[in-house]
Structure 1
Amino acid sequence: NRRLKWNNAMVAELLRLRFHDDQVKRRLEAADTNVKKALAWQLFANVLSQSLGMVIQQEQVSSKYRKLKCVYRKERREITQTGNNPREREIDEELWTILHDAFSPHEGISGEVLFDSQLEENEEDATPAENTEASPAKSKQPIVQLASAMQSGLEAIAA
């Protein structure tokens, strides 16, 4: 069980298939039982394998997808945080563009990724830090959360 080295072209194809291949998208979004979820991810792995011309296992696809979503959420949060010392992005600009183009249409007013919650009910997040870290919405007072959401909404309208 060799570890798969993902490049940006592979990531772009994974995300393209996830959001733009009608069969993959429909099966993943309609999966409401563990068996249907497993079959949907297997279909996704098969379609991706065929597209890339290499064998990729279902677990590799689902794991990589979850990790990409977590990386995108983390980078998005970092961008919205203010301060005098912004940190360097952990991913290269090309990968950020790929992730942003794929995930940004699926963000809520506060910038959190909204889709696929039903796909992860019985799955662990990709990194332990994501599990222990409180989500921004839960750690803020309601009025602060409202102000943040309003600011994000106004920025989105102005953009």
Structure 2
Amino acid sequence: MTQLEFDHILSCIDALSPEQMRQLRGELEAKLATKATPAGPSLDPLDVPSRLDALRTLRDGWLDGQGTAPSPGGLDWFAKVFNEFYPDDLPPPYIYPVAEGGIQLEWSIRPREISLEILFSDRSAAWHSLDLETDEEESQSLNLDEPGAWDWLAGRLTAMIGAAG
């Protein structure tokens, strides 16, 4: 694929609505979850420990020559606090790297799209929720070293799951 073709694909993606983006993401995740690679079956995008391990393989420049790789120490810290504080009865998030070296967690709980960007440098997180039907937004800063932040996160996810059900 040429750079021009790749740029064209990106411009088409930029034009998608939030609903179309959700559909595209779901289809891509399904293909990635079932497609075999030379190393074996693809990673389950909702297997948090495996996903964090996969992110350890990223190197600086992972995003078209840009992008800082998540730090091993940051990933170790997050794996520990996530395992300790995230309730097992809540849906696991999708986890993606961000260009600045952190990670982003995402949940789709209709009609909401939720993201939590994790900053390893100060162990904080930025919560963002968007209701796709009403355009209502919610934002919150969290200190993930505090158990109360995890309680707040679990409470908000639980409330949104209840509202969706």
TM-score, scaled to structure 2: 0.32
Higher strand share: 2
Higher helix share: 1
Greater RCO, CA 8 A, separation 6+: 1
TM-score, scaled to structure 1: 0.33
